């Protein structure tokens, strides 16, 4: 709880994953991937409850062993490849309301962001609740600037993504930020519905790139392992 506001964290972790089979519980430095998101959420000073939204019995059992709540399984129709995060988000809120549990702010913590720390979560919560905004999304500065990116037309000719000279020195490029998937927060009010765009969070919480690895392919696991070892050595 923060400023008398009850706060719920939802960690979505469906069973199907084409890129990395069983990705949500794959081993990462001796722990299932799910461990890292549950740990950061449970270590938050402000989160009142942590739940796993999953359609998979095995993931549900791992989540319970890690200390998260799994009060229901996600239905099949919002668990496939085409399902959107907002579907699981709204479903979880409605299911908890049936249990007479009401929260003022809802966080969605993607399980594929294992480097997110509890202090990131707490800073983001403080930033949103202290503001006049309804939503927040975590971002990190891009490494590959869109100023030097191109699309190709049917004649194989290049087109700039940005109306800006690619001859600029890299240090002169204006900073561009990417939604990194680590933290989404929404105020739970009458405006929150299935049309809500979680990536369109108004307020930004900036995270350093080393905390912003998103596990999508096996190379990402290697990168995450590198940073986790470094954090462990530095006791971050």
For the segment 6-32, what is each residue's pLDDT rounded down to a tens digit? 999 999 998 877 778 889 999 999 999
In a domain, 76, yes or no: yes
Render pLDDT for 79-102 as a digit per residue (tens, 0 to 9): 877 778 899 899 999 999 988 999
Q: How far is CA 196 from CA 45, 65, 77, 90, 166, in A?
A: 27, 32, 19, 10, 35
Return the pLDDT at 180. 94
Long-range CB pairs of 83-88 (<8 Å, 24+ gap) are 83/14, 85/12, 85/110, 85/184, 85/198, 86/194, 86/196, 86/197, 86/198, 87/194, 88/10, 88/12, 88/14, 88/53
Kindly state whether residue 228 falls inside one of the protein's structural domains. yes
Q: What pTM does this model have?
A: 0.88
Residue 168: inside a domain: no
- Contacts of residue 163, defined as CB under 8 A and 6 or more positions apart, other chains included, come to none
Half-sphere exposure of 40 (CA within 13 A, CB side): 29
Span of 64-78, 150-164, 169-183, 199-213 with lowest mean pLDDT: 150-164
Residue 13 within a domain: yes
Name the average pLDDT for the chain.
Answer: 89
Q: Are 140 and 206 in contact (CB under 8 A)?
A: yes
Residue 166 has pLDDT above 60, yes or no: no
In a domain, 153, yes or no: no
pLDDT of residue 164: 66
pLDDT at 168: 66
Residue 208, domain CATH:
3.90.550.10
The number of domains in the chain is 1
Residue 151: pLDDT over 90: no
Asked if residue 18 is part of any domain, the answer here is yes
pLDDT digits (tens, 9 = 90+) for 30-63: 999 999 999 999 999 999 999 999 999 999 999 9
54: domain range?
7-141+176-234
Q: Would you tell me the crossing angle of helices 33-42 and 57-65 to the nearest 10 degrees?
A: 50
Q: Is the model's pLDDT at 235 over the cut of 70?
A: no
> What number of CA atoms fall less than 13 Å from residue 73's CA on the CB side?
11
Q: Is 222 inside any structural domain?
A: yes
Residue 169: inside a domain, yes or no? no
């Amino acid at each position: 709880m923060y400023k008398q506001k009850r706060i719920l964290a939802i960690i979505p972790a469906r069973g199907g994953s084409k890129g990395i089979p069983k990705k949500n519980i794959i081993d990462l430095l001796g722990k299932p991937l799910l461990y890292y998101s549950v740990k950061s959420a449970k270590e938050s000073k402000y989160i009142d409850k942590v739940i796993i939204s999953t359609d998979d019995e095995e993931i549900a059992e791992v989540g319970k062993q890690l200390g998260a709540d799994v009060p229901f399984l996600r239905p099949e129709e919002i668990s496939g490849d085409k399902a959107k995060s907002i579907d699981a988000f709204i479903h979880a809120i409605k299911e908890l309301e049936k249990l007479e549990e009401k929260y003022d702010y809802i966080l969605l913590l993607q399980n594929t962001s294992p480097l997110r720390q509890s202090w990131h979560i707490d800073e983001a919560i403080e930033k949103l609740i202290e503001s006049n905004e309804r939503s927040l999304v975590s971002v990190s500065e891009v490494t590959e600037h869109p100023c030097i990116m191109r699309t190709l037309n049917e004649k194989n000719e290049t087109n700039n993504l940005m109306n800006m000279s690619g001859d600029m020195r890299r240090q002169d490029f204006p900073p561009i930020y990417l939604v990194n998937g680590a933290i989404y927060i929404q105020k739970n009010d009458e405006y929150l519905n299935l049309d809500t765009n979680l990536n369109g969070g108004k307020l930004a919480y900036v995270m350093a790139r080393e905390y912003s690895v998103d596990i999508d392919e096996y190379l990402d696991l290697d990168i995450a392992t590198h940073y986790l070892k470094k954090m462990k050595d530095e006791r971050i």
